[in-house]
């Protein structure tokens, strides 16, 4: 079998993402072969085409940490040709060829059968949206209810942030959206945000304990923003932290934890175990389904992946970018 792929190569001048024809033996071991319908653009995919981005373990590599599509061959009894599936995380797009191609081959233990979502909807959710769902679930597990008070979402126009706003408002929470793109207020309101504020901490100094304002937060920004958020959570509240677009440091103190009983909940989607991963995807088709996916989604053919990823890296990207593979090479 010969097929088209976008292959990332390390060169003297950086990482080049090149459209190439490859053969079946280019794919890595795995029980399930998938005709890719869609991939998507995540922050991590941006890092995959960044020199010293710190996520890719070997080049040349087909990037794309998300892939959705149709099984064409399976050596595992759980999957059969024609099954519609999503696979994301684990080594996909960082050490195992990913979704920026017409075909992918992955271990069966990384694959989720779609039930109630189309491949396009699953790609629009993708890793970022799945991380938003994990964050919301972690807050619900910590006891958060809509009557507890407003819930803050930082990086609100980003992939994780925008899907978190959508899911939380759909569940009846009062959502406060923090964004650097104040021109996006209307979109965030349509997703269900009750109010829209600027990036945090803005001009404010981060205190060990600030004014208690939010019952909980979904944070994918990290850095000083996360420190400010922790200092502003009401008694007994929680913050689900998944990202570092604002920095990987955390200049905070223990005060929010020991004086307000605030919990910091770590979120990792990449190695989330497959059984729980499949359960949460099933809920993403039901009670946790984002209500405004078509509004959040931008579409581009996968051959334009590089320019879409640059908007993620320069901070101008918003929502979720679906990258079409089938018929787009």
Q: Which residues bind ligand NAP (CB under 6 A)?
A: 42-44, 127-128, 131, 155-161, 179-181, 199, 220-221, 225, 242-246, 267-270, 312, 315, 317-318
Shortest distance (Å) from residue 327 CB to ligand NAP:
25
* Sequence-ordered alpha helix ranges (H) in 98-215: 119-141, 159-170, 185-191
Is the Cβ of residue 27 or residue 221 nearer to ligand NAP in the bound state? 221
CA 254, 256, 259, 263 dihedral sign is negative
Is the Cβ of residue 23 or residue 248 nearer to ligand NAP in the bound state? 248
Which phi-psi region, left, alpha or beta, contains residue 82 (left: φ > 0; alpha: ψ -120 to 50)? Answer: left
Shortest distance (Å) from residue 326 CB to ligand NAP:
23
Shortest distance (Å) from residue 290 CB to ligand NAP:
13
Is the Cβ of residue 74 or residue 269 nearer to ligand NAP in the bound state? 269
Six-digit token string for 41: 């653009």
Shortest distance (Å) from residue 195 CB to ligand NAP:
14
Is the Cβ of residue 74 or residue 127 nearer to ligand NAP in the bound state? 127
Shortest distance (Å) from residue 322 CB to ligand NAP:
13
Shortest distance (Å) from residue 45 CB to ligand NAP:
8
Query: Using CA atoms, how far apart are residues 121 and 297, in angstroms rounded to an integer?
Result: 9
Query: Using CA atoms, how far apart are residues 111 and 102, in angstroms rounded to an integer?
Result: 17
Is the Cβ of residue 11 or residue 294 nearer to ligand NAP in the bound state? 294
Any idea how long the chain is?
329
Burial letters 165-178, b for 16+ CB under 10 A, else e: bbbbbbbebbbbbb
Query: Using CA atoms, how far apart are residues 253 and 264, in angstroms rounded to an integer?
Result: 12
């Amino acid at each position: 079998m010969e097929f088209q792929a976008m292959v990332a190569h390390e060169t003297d001048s950086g990482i080049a993402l090149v459209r190439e024809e490859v053969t079946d033996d280019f794919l890595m071991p795995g029980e399930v072969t998938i005709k890719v319908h869609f991939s998507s653009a995540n922050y991590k995919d941006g890092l995959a085409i960044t020199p010293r981005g710190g996520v890719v373990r070997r080049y040349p590599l087909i990037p794309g940490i998300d892939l959705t599509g149709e099984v064409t061959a399976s050596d595992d009894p759980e999957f059969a040709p024609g099954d519609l599936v999503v696979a994301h995380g684990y080594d996909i797009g960082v050490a195992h060829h990913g979704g920026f191609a017409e075909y992918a081959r992955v271990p069966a233990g990384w694959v989720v059968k779609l039930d109630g979502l189309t491949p396009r909807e699953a790609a629009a959710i993708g890793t970022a949206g799945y991380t938003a769902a994990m964050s919301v679930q972690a807050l619900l597990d910590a006891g958060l209810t809509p009557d507890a008070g407003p819930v803050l979402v930082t990086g609100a126009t980003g992939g994780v942030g925008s899907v978190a706003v959508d899911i939380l408002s759909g569940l009846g929470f009062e959502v406060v959206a923090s964004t650097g793109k104040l021109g996006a207020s209307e979109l965030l309101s349509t997703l269900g945000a009750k109010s829209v504020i600027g990036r945090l901490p803005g001009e404010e100094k981060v205190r060990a304990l600030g004014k208690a304002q939010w019952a909980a937060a979904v944070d994918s920004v990290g850095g000083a923003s996360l420190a400010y958020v922790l200092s502003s959570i009401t008694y007994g509240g929680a913050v689900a932290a998944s990202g570092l677009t604002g920095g990987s440091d955390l200049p905070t103190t223990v005060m929010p934890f020991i004086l307000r009983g605030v919990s910091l909940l770590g979120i990792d989607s990449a190695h989330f175990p497959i059984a729980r991963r499949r359960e949460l995807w099933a809920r993403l088709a039901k009670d946790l389904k984002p209500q405004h996916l078509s509004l959040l989604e931008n579409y581009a053919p996968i051959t334009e992946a590089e320019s879409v990823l640059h908007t993620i890296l320069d901070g101008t990207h918003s929502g979720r970018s679906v990258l079409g593979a089938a018929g787009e090479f």
